[in-house]
Structure 1
């Protein structure tokens, strides 16, 4: 049997206002071809199919067109579980119809644990594998609030609830396994944050539960599972040093912090021995780049990107000492009429510093606006020769506001 594990598509996601539908379409077209050439039997999508709970019509069209295309390949079964970005009700609305096409959608935990247990079959109707299709488990699925609970009590209940959910589902899967003529692979899914897992800046991944105990240890997954297909984190990685417990990662870079990552999908193949995991790199459908440094370094970095003669979306990180009021204008003169487009400029000169604490016993009421502005100049270590011009401009702005001009 061959299984393909992917997750975190985030269909419809914007990048600083830029629509990415062409990228999503290119990825899904590529994925269908991989499923066909690798002769995949089972596809698992471990959550965050869409980026929002109300996906656009275009995002929905991409999703359903993909499912239709998969039906024309060797893939016999598709298992889709909801992530924290997905709407369980929206995702499961067509589930009865999709199940007729061997597409199984699990949007949320229910009172019937067996709803998450799937026994998939081959072309002859013989059992192929057992899938414990666990979606993103919400707080209300895991614990009941009680009066007088501390934060630590709540966190511990969440952790225990997740572990109990997997343990009970594993027991149910083992019972099903015992009724079969011969053993078949047992697979589990999950959309959660494991302990020690790696994230990147700007990837949009957020904590799922309050407190650090929401990070699930690898021991929460019972050893009877031959493979655990995880979603939520965008960096491809294994969990607890076990090659069969892993995040596939997002197929597209969801932010500039992921620009240098090699994205991939996981192909898991069962033969006579233990399952073998192979990573298939996902092509880059839209190049992203970060350029950082002072003005001279930024200008040089942008010229290097222009020389590549390909479409590149850029995040600029200014780290110079001088305050440059027309930074964007100066940089866009360089990128004009090129395939390089600046989507964001981050000025660490401003963002990484804050006003120094006021002196003991001093409050803002003791300072006028000019004195507050001077404190800003000091806090941001603006070179003294620039003060006079900046103070003059500041006074002109204040006067304009005061006179309503």
Structure 2
């Protein structure tokens, strides 16, 4: 019996106003073909189906169309758990209808542990294994109402709450089903010891300081299907614990990741095999150009070719001195480019100066003009531009004073 582990789809995601709808359409086409060609019987989505708690209609339409398309395939067990980006109410609202499409939605904890246990049967109706479907555990599920606790105390309480939940769930499985039935658990959380974290990943559970070590999870779970970290990786400390990673590069920090889904299987001995990684094709190519303003403009023009029409560009302007011309030139080049898209740019001024003690006024003496002049000194602005900047600042200050007077 083959199981496909994926997650962190982030439907509705935008990268600085550039949407990923076409990327997700192509991903779903590829995922559908993998499910059919690999004879996948169980699909597990480990959280962050959407990028927002209230996703756009186009993202919801894409999601439901894909689930409907799976109805007539070999995949008769679809388990979807909520991540920290997902809105529980919007995700769970259609859960009873989605059951008709063989889809189980677990958005939050309930009073009964049985509600997190999903039985997976073979074609004859015999129980093959269990899925302990654990969604993103929110702080309200883990923290007791106590006042006067320190930040460290709250962090430790969250960590212990996560460990306790998985341990109690494992014990409940054993009490109800015995020791022999295989169990696959899901999770959407930060586990200590991950290799790398993308800037597209939001911190969860007290700033990720509550990261649980992989060795804290019960060995009763033969496979742990994790989401939240966007780089696919196996965790040390548990025999079979994996982050599937995101299927798309969702930020420029993810441009060098190999994006994939994982396929494991339950063998005849009731053991979950180490998963096979199946690489997902990348529709977009994310490129970072890092150089001086002159060289950045030159590189952008050289990249602007029809064969590069799926390139998204991040420009980093690295030079010793600040330059007033940067915003104008970057706006101009953005309009000039025909095939590639400049998504964002930022500056990295290497010649910044540390202010001398005498240049830092007392707090009581702070005025907008003094703060502004201190900023100019620290930014290493070229002399001929200082007067221009100060003149613009003075005009802005006058306009601000006029508005307040009116």
TM-score by length of 2: 0.89
Which residue in the other structure is 2:81 paired with?
81
User: In the alignment, does 2:233 pair up with 1:227?
Assistant: no
Which residue in the other structure is 2:194 paired with?
197
Residue 79 of structure 1 contacts residue 105 of structure 1 at CA under 8 Å; is this kept in 2?
yes
SS, match of residue 41 in structure 1: strand
Which residue in the other structure is 1:252 paired with?
248
Compared with structure 1, are the counterparts of its residues 174 and 367 closer, same or farther at alpha carbon in structure 2 (3 Å cutoff)?
closer
Which residue in the other structure is 1:285 paired with?
283
Compared with structure 1, are the counterparts of its residues 241 and 290 closer, same or farther at alpha carbon in structure 2 (3 Å cutoff)?
farther
- Cα deviation, residue 248, structure 1: 0.6
Task: Map 1:51-62; keep pairs closer than 5 Å.
Answer: 51-62=51-62
SS, match of residue 90 in structure 2: helix
Distance 2:359 2:376 in 1: 20
Residue 332 of structure 1 contacts residue 342 of structure 1 at CA under 8 Å; is this kept in 2?
no
- Cα deviation, residue 2, structure 1: 0.7
Unaligned 5+ segments in structure 2 are: none
Compared with structure 1, are the counterparts of its residues 389 and 102 closer, same or farther at alpha carbon in structure 2 (3 Å cutoff)?
closer
Task: Map 1:10-49; keep pairs closer than 5 Å.
Answer: 10-49=10-49
Compared with structure 1, are the counterparts of its residues 123 and 164 closer, same or farther at alpha carbon in structure 2 (3 Å cutoff)?
same
Which residue in the other structure is 1:217 paired with?
213
Which residue in the other structure is 1:309 paired with?
308
- Cα deviation, residue 309, structure 1: 2.9
Distance 1:379 1:229 in 2: 48
User: In the alignment, does 2:345 pair up with 1:348?
Assistant: no
SS, match of residue 240 in structure 1: coil
Distance 2:395 2:105 in 1: 61
- Cα deviation, residue 322, structure 1: 3.1
Compared with structure 1, are the counterparts of its residues 245 and 296 closer, same or farther at alpha carbon in structure 2 (3 Å cutoff)?
same
Residue 83 of structure 2 contacts residue 228 of structure 2 at CA under 8 Å; is this kept in 1?
yes
Provide Cα deviations, 1:84-107, integer angstroms capped at 9, x if missing partner: 111222211222222233211111
TM-score by length of 1: 0.90
Task: Map 1:2-401; keep pairs closer than 5 Å.
Answer: 2-178=2-178, 183-203=180-200, 205-210=201-206, 213-240=209-236, 242=238, 244-272=240-268, 274=271, 275-307=273-305, 308-331=307-330, 333-334=332-333, 336-349=336-349, 356=355, 359=358, 362-363=361-362, 366=365, 370-399=369-398
Residues 339-348 or 374-383, more deviating: 374-383
Distance 1:325 1:279 in 2: 48
- Cα deviation, residue 217, structure 1: 0.9
Distance 1:254 1:17 in 2: 12
Unaligned 5+ segments in structure 1 are: none
- Cα deviation, residue 161, structure 1: 1.3
Provide Cα deviations, 1:61-85, integer angstroms capped at 9, x if missing partner: 1111110111121112000001111
Q: What is the total number of aligned residue pairs between the two structures?
A: 400
Distance 1:47 1:303 in 2: 40
Residues 19-28 or 42-51, more deviating: 19-28
Distance 2:185 2:316 in 1: 41
Residue 355 of structure 1 contacts residue 375 of structure 1 at CA under 8 Å; is this kept in 2?
no
